[in-house]
Amino acid sequence: MNNTFVHSQGSIAIQSRKISAFLPLVGIAFITLVSQLKIDLAFTPVPITGQTFAVILWGMLFGKRQGVLAATGYLTAGAAGLPVFAGFATLPALWGPTSGYLVGFIPGAWLAGWLAERTPSRHVVTGTLIGIVAHVPILLCGALVMSSFVGMSQILALAIAPFLIGDVIKSVVAGTIYATSARIRNGAR
């Protein structure tokens, strides 16, 4: 069986079952490593992290199925007590103010992969827009849960606004990597 990656629409299609089965483990490791990029904010209990970048990029590059498998595996590893979350946190992160954002990784990864699989354009702008749109379910899930900790009147100020600029920056970086990987896969320089 051929063990190569091939271009399939926007994401990388996997021809080998062995690679396809192993890829979510690599995704979990990637998300865990990038999650350690963390900036605590004094005014909100949720830090800015590299988690959303990693989850969305994985979905963009490898499609909705691999994105969901990696995000679900990441959450499962944390629920099992492995120190995978930002700051090497474990299970308590799934029950606190960050839990909604974490759960939002699953629809965020799915949406990033789904859009990448269906979008014919492989430009940085397209990738950036995919990243921005894929952040929406993460922010919505996060804000919904955060409202039980800070109240509905504080959702915009504490659960959404602090993350918008960072999410756009992460989306631009993910979009750049997405476009570059497409050019490399297609043999263009």
Tokens of 44: 């909100």
Alpha carbon distance 131, 112 (integer Å):
7
Tens digit of pLDDT per residue, the chain (189 long)?
444 444 444 555 555 666 778 899 999 999 999 999 999 999 999 999 999 999 999 999 999 999 999 999 999 999 999 999 999 998 888 899 999 999 999 999 999 999 999 987 889 999 999 999 999 999 999 999 999 999 999 999 999 999 999 999 999 999 999 999 988 877 754
Radius of gyration for the chain, computed over Cα atoms and rounded to the nearest angstrom: 16
In sequence order, what DSSP letters do the residues of 51-90 get, joined into one string?
A: HHHHHHHHHHHHHHHHHHHHHHHHHHHHHTT-S-BGGGB-
The values of phi and psi at residue 26, to 5°, are -65, -40
Residues, the chain: 189
The pairing of strands 38-39 and 48-49 is: antiparallel
β-pair type (11-14, 38-39): unpaired
The CATH number given to whatever domain includes residue 137 is 1.10.1760.20
Both tokens assigned to 173: 């970086």
The pTM (predicted TM-score) of the whole model is 0.88
Domains identified in the chain, total number: 1
Place of tokens 């996060």: 142
175 by DSSP, 3-state: which?
helix
Tokens 């004094």, located at residue = 42
Structural domain boundaries, residue 141: 5-185
